[in-house]
């Protein structure tokens, strides 16, 4: 009992350190740009970064099993381009149906990832790197050098329009569902178990392969959904959309305290990590930093926060040791 509460304290204080980083960032930004904390602006932070925040949840599951998925934005582009073209060529215009189709495309891509990784016993980074090339290439091929533009997706894009609650609702639902699943269900616990010690999990009756497949399928599903949302929010589908953004998602998770070697991480941490990445993206143009220096500052902040994470972890570990000795 005591051990558990101790573990809880550790996670709690990890997240507390993130909250402190967040608050410091907000204060600094507000000094340069007083309107940053206005409701409209805060709304825009979530809306513009719905994709990162959504995919970070899937990445959390994947990373909990000590895996990684770098094919997510390619899946996103493939699904997004797919549903964009369905509208461009006037096949389907029903928003709900398009969401289902996009999600299913993502689901299928993710399932394939999971199958190969779990059954083929292949390093996740390699398998997903292969699919990163494949789905991105396929997105280009099916696009046939065309974009689905504002008018093609009008009506559908109302869902993600500035001021429409659509993206927020999806985000809130996703985070609540994941919070519950990861914390209080058997499935959630089995993901943690597989990540901390696959052999032990296997012995204790968890079907490791199935958990792995499920995790990548969830990741694919969320990427597919993100693809649909991207088309809806930006009212345009292009084969190169969100190129390279998988690294933002991974960074968001790591900043949020998710361990890449598996077994450690939480939905709340992931949320805070994604929020920090989103705030950086939103704040850099606002605080008046020269456009060409923005990437540099972003990189420095990421490295800084990640190292800060390590240092807090170390101090916490040391304190715990001390406490135990006493």
Partner 1 sequence: MKKKVISVLLCVAMATGILAGCAAVPTATAPAADAAPAEEAAADEAAPAAEGAGTFAIVTKSAGNPFMDRLGTGFEEVIKAAGGEVVRKDPESATADAQIAVIQSLISQGVDTIAISANDANALISVCNEARDAGIKVLTLDSDVDPSARALFCNQAGVEAVGQQLIDAVYDLTGGEGQYAILSATSQATNQNAWIDAMKAISEGDDKYSKIELVEVAYGDDEPQKSTDQTQALLQNYPDLKVICAPTTVGIAAAAKVLQDQKSSVKLTGLGLPSEMAEYIGDDDAHSCPYMFLWNPIDLGRLAGYASLALYNGEITGAVGDTFEAATLESSPYTVVDNGAGTEVILGPPFKFDPSNIDEWKEVY
Partner 2 sequence: MAGKSGRTIAATPQTGLKQKLLSLEGALVIIFILINVFGRVLSPNYNLSNVMRESPRYLAEIFMLFGMGFILVLGDIDISVGSIVCLSATIGCLTSNAGLPMGLAILITLLTGLCCGMINGFIATRFTELPTMIVTLGTQIIFRGIAEVSLGSGGSASLKDYEGIGILRAKVGPIPLAFFLIIICAVIFVIVLSRTTFGRHLYAIGSSKTAAQYAGVEVQKIRFFCFTLIGFLAGICGLFILASTYGANTTTGQGFEMEVIAMCVFGGIATTGGKGNLVGAFIASLVIVCLRIALGQINMNTQLILVIIGAMLIISVLVPSFRQRFLTLKKK
Helices 72-88 and 124-143 cross at an angle (nearest 10°) of: 20
* Residue 314: Cβ within 10 Å count: 10
Q: Which among partner 1, partner 2, none contacts residue 254 (Cβ within 5 to 8 A by kind)? A: partner 2
46, 111, 140, 179: residue in contact with partner 2 (rule CB under 8 A)? 140
Q: Give per-residue burial for 263-297: e unless 16+ CB within 10 Å, then b.
A: bbbbbbbbbbbbbbbbbbbbbbeeeeeeeeebeee
Pick 81 or 305: Cβ nearer partner 1: 81
Q: Which among partner 1, partner 2, none contacts residue 35 (Cβ within 5 to 8 A by kind)? A: partner 1
Render 81-137 in DSSP notation, one character per residue.
HHHHHHHHTTS---HHHHHHHHHHHHHHHHHHHHHHHHHHT--HHHHHHHHHHHHHH
Helices 294-325 and 267-286 cross at an angle (nearest 10°) of: 150
Q: Which among partner 2, partner 1, none contacts residue 310 (Cβ within 5 to 8 A by kind)? A: partner 2
Q: Does 129 bind partner 2 (CB under 8 A)?
A: yes
Q: Does 254 bind partner 2 (CB under 8 A)?
A: yes
Given the rule CB under 8 A, which of 27-35, 41-49, 155-163, 306-314 is the region that contacts partner 2?
306-314
Q: Does 42 bind partner 2 (CB under 8 A)?
A: no
**Cα 36 to Cα 21: distance, rounded to the nearest angstrom:** 17
Q: Which among partner 1, partner 2, none contacts residue 163 (Cβ within 5 to 8 A by kind)? A: partner 1
Pick 172 or 293: Cβ nearer partner 2: 293
Pick 34 or 205: Cβ nearer partner 1: 34
Whether residue 218 contacts residue 267, with contact meaning beta carbons closer than 8 Å, is answered with no
Q: How far is CA 287 from the centre of its chain?
A: 26
Which residues in the 281-300 window bind partner 2 by CB under 8 A?
Answer: 292-293, 295-300
Selection from 140, 322, 159 nearest residue 228 by Cα: 159
Pick 232 or 242: Cβ nearer partner 2: 242
Q: Which among partner 1, partner 2, none contacts residue 150 (Cβ within 5 to 8 A by kind)? A: partner 1
Q: Does 302 bind partner 2 (CB under 8 A)?
A: yes
Binding site residues, partner 2, CB under 8 A: 68, 116, 120-123, 125-127, 129-134, 136-138, 140-141, 247, 250-251, 254, 260-261, 292-293, 295-300, 302-303, 306-307, 310, 313-314
């Amino acid at each position: 009992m005591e051990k558990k509460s101790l573990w809880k304290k550790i996670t709690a204080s990890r997240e507390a350190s993130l909250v402190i980083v967040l608050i410091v960032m907000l204060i600094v930004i507000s000094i340069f740009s007083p309107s940053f904390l206005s409701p409209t602006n805060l709304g825009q932070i979530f809306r513009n970064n719905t994709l990162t925040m959504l995919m970070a949840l899937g990445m959390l599951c994947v990373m909990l099993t000590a895996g990684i998925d770098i094919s997510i934005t390619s899946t996103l582009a493939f699904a997004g381009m797919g549903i964009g073209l369905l509208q461009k060529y006037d096949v389907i215009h029903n928003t709900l149906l398009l969401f289902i189709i996009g999600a299913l495309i993502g689901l299928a891509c993710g399932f394939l990832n999971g199958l190969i990784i779990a059954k083929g016993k292949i390093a996740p980074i390699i398998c997903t790197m292969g699919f990163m090339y494949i789905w991105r290439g396929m997105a280009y091929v099916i696009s046939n050098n065309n974009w689905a533009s504002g008018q093609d997706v009008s009506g559908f894009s109302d869902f993600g329009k500035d001021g429409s609650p659509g993206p927020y609702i999806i985000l809130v639902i996703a985070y609540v569902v994941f919070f519950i699943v990861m914390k209080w269900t058997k499935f959630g616990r089995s993901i943690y178990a597989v990540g901390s010690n696959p052999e032990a999990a296997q012995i204790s009756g968890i079907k490791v392969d199935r958990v792995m497949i499920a995790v990548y399928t969830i990741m694919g599903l969320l990427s597919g959904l993100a693809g649909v949302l991207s088309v809806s929010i930006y009212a345009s589908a292009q084969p190169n959309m969100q190129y390279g953004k998988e690294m933002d998602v991974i960074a968001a998770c790591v900043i949020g305290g998710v361990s890449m070697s598996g077994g450690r991480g939480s939905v709340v941490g992931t949320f805070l990590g994604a929020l920090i990445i989103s705030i950086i993206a939103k704040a850099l143009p606002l605080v008046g930093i020269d456009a060409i220096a923005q990437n540099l500052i972003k990189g420095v902040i990421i490295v800084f926060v990640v190292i800060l994470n390590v240092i807090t972890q170390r101090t916490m570990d040391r304190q715990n040791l001390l406490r135990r000795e006493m």
